[in-house]
A and B are shown apart, each in its own frame.
With several copies, the nearest count.
Chain A
Amino acid sequence: MDSQNLERINSMLDAEVEIREKIKEQVTEFDKRTRTLVGILNRIHSTRSEKMSTLLDQARPVLDSCRETTAALADIVPPDQFWKWKDMWSLSLRSAVFSATLMEYLNSGTLLSLPAVAETLGFKPEWKDRVTLAVEDYLHGVITLVNELSRLAVNSVTLGDFEQPIKISLFVKDIFAGFSMLNLKNDTLRRRYDSLKYDIKKIEEVVYDVSLRKLAPSAQEKAE
């Protein structure tokens, strides 16, 4: 192997190792942030609706801090290499998407769109060949949101809030109808989408329990 060939190869390999190390560091940090965030949001299951906004206020700064990660990654990843490295942070990123959409649902009852999530997390359009919010990561986050809302439907009844399940039911059916129009290939996303049916079924059963017992008079009208 002539030495020029060898040198070129070695410097390419070394550069890769260095980038990997730097990204790993950021991901460790990102992971801590999203774990804290998910930890805070886990408390929604025992929080009455009137105190929900206080909880969200606590979560907000942590969510905002994720922008630092995004910026740091944009600094590290070389041009054109987004797809080479993205798997390293996508688990954490999906947690962040989940948190952002959950917070928006609790706040306004609506689904945060992909560009809105991207903005919330501090992605800049000009970084798109280095760090960006890929469709699949957004969709994974939204599926996790549905999983969590089926749990919330159950727990809000326990807390005496009989309207929440009905709200969730409508919101989630809408998302499900959206998903069913997507052309998903037969991969993880597809499998997770299929599992949404169980969440919807669970939510429907909660709504059933509530309306059977006439606990939420609005149930019938709204469910239509």
Chain B
Amino acid sequence: MTLPPTLNSRDTILAVFDHFREELDDHNDRRERLIKSSRDVTNLSKKVIFLLHRTMTEDVGEADDRTLGSRAASRARGKLKEIQSLFAGMRPELSGDRYARYQRNVSPGLQEYIEALSFAHYLEHRALISYEEVQRSLCDDDGTPYFPLSLEDYLLGLSDLTGELMRFAIASISRRGGRQKANDVCHFVRDYFEGLTPYFRDLRKKQAVTGQSLEKIEDAAYAVAVRTSEFDLPSEMLDDLVAQMVSR
């Protein structure tokens, strides 16, 4: 469409605005599609998180934590792949400068995905997933990113992880070796915190929730400590004695 630089008749104006309409409609439709995909991602991610919790609390004889963690992560892998392919599907809608435009519509799902992914990663490796690793999970086979991961999404996704870790620690505490697990999570979360505290101001609200989660984990670790200090035996041996009593 070639038009004069100034629009001097109703017809040229209408032609130009017709073009604007197409552009706006395109934009709105794309936004809608991305919002829908983001909701799908959110739902699948929540299911992954439940699956991980479920696997970690299954009664499977004497399986140790490492084994359980690997099993949980490998069970989650399929669903995580599914989510990744949803992101792959959004790729054309998010190419070039579009990602920055639609980021806020994609963020809710993306953050929930990072929460799920980092939880699986923690259970398998007892470590925090790095920015690089998250970005790598959102690349095609050639290692080209579907879109550039924003720092904000990475950090906000991780903030939510603490909530899940708190749930994990509290659910584990009444199981064999729970004390150790509560302590591990406690140190892990503190470490994450201490790493970030000096840098961030804007994450405040989320960090308040993280702080509450940390306090809950600390309270759980405390409860075990207080109770075992009353007896003069190593805590593993105490666990065995209790198990003996409770065995059906």
Tell me the A residues contacting B by CB distance below 8 Å. Answer: 1-2, 4-6, 8-10, 12-13, 16, 31-32, 35-36, 38-39, 42-43, 45-46, 80-84, 104, 108-116, 119, 128-129, 135, 139, 151, 154-155, 157-158, 160, 162, 166, 169-170, 174-185, 194, 197-198, 200-201, 203-216, 218-219, 222-223
Contacts and interface: CB of A to CB of B under 8 A. Distances in A.
19 contacts: A8-B132, A9-B131, A35-B197, A38-B197, A81-B100, A84-B103, A113-B6, A128-B97, A154-B222, A176-B57, A178-B20, A181-B14, A183-B24, A183-B46, A183-B50, A185-B46, A194-B167, A197-B171, A210-B226
A174 B59 CA distance: 10
A31 B204 CA distance: 14
Which interface class (under 10, 10 to 19, 20 to 34, 35 or more) fits B? 35 or more
Contact of B191 (A1, A206, A223): A1
Contacts of A184: 24, 50
Interface of B: 3-10, 13-14, 16-18, 20-21, 23-25, 28, 46-47, 50, 53-54, 57-59, 96-101, 103, 127-128, 130-132, 148, 151, 154-155, 167, 170-171, 173-174, 183, 187, 190-199, 201, 215, 218-223, 225-227, 229-233, 238, 241-242, 244-246, 248
A111 B10 CA distance: 10
A33 B99 CA distance: 31
B4 to A, nearest CB: 7
B217 to A, nearest CB: 11
